[in-house]
Structure 1
């Protein structure tokens, strides 16, 4: 028997230490929460994707009474970005959440389904995507979605 240890490097810093473009991306994600449709959970999530061409595309969660039929903010943003700009990679994505009248104190992380979609976007362009998970005062940053989805299932599995 052998043991495999996995580790993830997450950089944590106050939002005021972000670069100007990171602050712009975080603000776009926060603004996107305001247009989400979350009548059931009342948990409003926004995402903002920075494309290689400099465009920022936002998305938000869209709930449905039949829960599996809704869609998360991250997937909404990435799918819209690639439908509008199919040749542009996503360089970074910021995620923010608003609940009970205020932005969440703790950082918001992508669900498993969103992690898989973000991985596909990375693999599509063979380029890592910075993921910024925002809280009210701080942000967690990983340099690739692979940091949040170790031992992931990707296209290389289908080629074996």
Structure 2
């Protein structure tokens, strides 16, 4: 037997204002997208903003449904829209912000497992890492330089 150690590195910013200016703007767009979420069941709003290599910014918000599996997270809403509208563009950066309507969310909220897999698909497809910045409504922002930090042993098309 051999031991496999996996290390990841994240960067923590104390506030949005500590981020590079371009990422601050992206995070503010994610915040605006969050306010458009349809979340009558969970009361948990999520917004995503993607910066593409063509300079376009695509946003998405979570869209719930009474039949829970029929809803879609903000990250996948934005990624799939970007893939449909700009199929040749690469995703450079992703900004995420999430918050509850029940209380103020101060801790950074990373993508869920299904979203991590979807982000992985695009990172593998474009053969380039995607910077991911995530936060709650306020407070610290965490940066991952690649989805592989959040999902180190990715399931990808080479195994099919």
Shared fold, TM over 0.5: yes
Return the offset for 1:100. 2.1
- Superposition pairs of residues 79-94 of structure 1, within 5 angstroms: 79-94=80-95
1:44-87 deviation per Cα after TM superposition (whole angstroms, max 9, x unaligned): 00000000011110000000111111000000000001111111
In the alignment, does 2:64 pair up with 1:48?
Answer: no
Contact 1:97/1:103 (<8 A) preserved: no
Structure 2 segments unaligned to the other structure (5+ residues): none
| Equivalent-residue separation in structure 2 for 1:82 and 1:103 (angstroms) | 32
In the other structure, the counterpart of 1:76 is 77
In the alignment, does 2:113 pair up with 1:112?
Answer: yes
| Equivalent-residue separation in structure 2 for 1:123 and 1:105 (angstroms) | 31
User: Following superposition, which runs of at least 4 residues in structure 1 exceed 4 angstroms of deviation?
Assistant: none
Structure 1 segments unaligned to the other structure (5+ residues): none
| Equivalent-residue separation in structure 1 for 2:125 and 2:2 (angstroms) | 33
| Equivalent-residue separation in structure 1 for 2:119 and 2:104 (angstroms) | 23
Q: Secondary structure at the match of 1:62?
A: coil
Q: Secondary structure at the match of 2:132?
A: strand
Contact 2:45/2:101 (<8 A) preserved: no
In the other structure, the counterpart of 1:10 is 10
After TM superposition, the score normalised by the length of structure 1 is 0.95
Contact 2:99/2:105 (<8 A) preserved: yes
Tell me the number of residue pairs that the alignment of Structure 1 and Structure 2 aligns.
158
- Superposition pairs of residues 1-160 of structure 1, within 5 angstroms: 1-14=1-14, 15-100=16-101, 104-135=105-136, 136-158=138-160
Return the offset for 1:101. 6.5
After TM superposition, the score normalised by the length of structure 2 is 0.95
| Equivalent-residue separation in structure 2 for 1:102 and 1:28 (angstroms) | 22
| Equivalent-residue separation in structure 1 for 2:45 and 2:126 (angstroms) | 29
State the Cα RMSD in Å.
Answer: 1.2
Q: Secondary structure at the match of 1:29?
A: helix
